Structure 1
Amino acid sequence: MTELEEITQFKHGMGDNCFIFSEYLTYCDGWGLRRTDAGQYEIFNMSYPEITMTHSLVTFLEYFLAGNVFDPGGLYDWQETLGIP
């Protein structure tokens, strides 16, 4: 488990309006949350920060709970349907 203080300090070069809130294998892969200039929130994979996966934490959690990271219906399956390599 990553402590909140570490999460808020690990910006991965993405600025002050975002942070990595979920990670796999000690930052091998991770998912971030950012606030846009318009005040919306976006969730993205830190390897492809230019692609917004969703604006909904509930949607992200539904995929995670359905298949974790690698299992069918999980985060990587979802990313494939979104066109994320």
Structure 2
Amino acid sequence: MTAGTLRHDTYNVSSGRPVTNRDIADALEAVTPGLRLDLLPGRQNGPGNDPYLDTTRLTHETGFTPNFDVSAAVADYITWRADNPR
């Protein structure tokens, strides 16, 4: 937000690391008492070569570095949602 100019009009804002559905489910279960999410079987050897949100451009142009990993981001969002109705 403080960069004088930007070379692009769209940037990926993420951790820049692949995240599985199980990672998200585990994070939700960790902050929601009694929640158990059953997922259908997925890939057996990790997330594969699917693209994910690359933050290289954002980092080079703005100095962005992520403050949250998946667990911290989910916990922060759940806490925020509790006080911010739709």
Instruction: Judge same fold: TM > 0.5, yes or no.
Output: no
Report the TM range for the smaller structure's normalisation.
Answer: under 0.3
Q: Which protein is richer in helix relative to its size?
A: 2
TM (normalized to structure 1)? 0.27
Instruction: Indicate the structure whose relative CO is greater, using CA pairs within 8 Å and at least 6 residues apart.
Output: 2
TM (normalized to structure 2)? 0.27
Greater C-alpha radius of gyration: 2
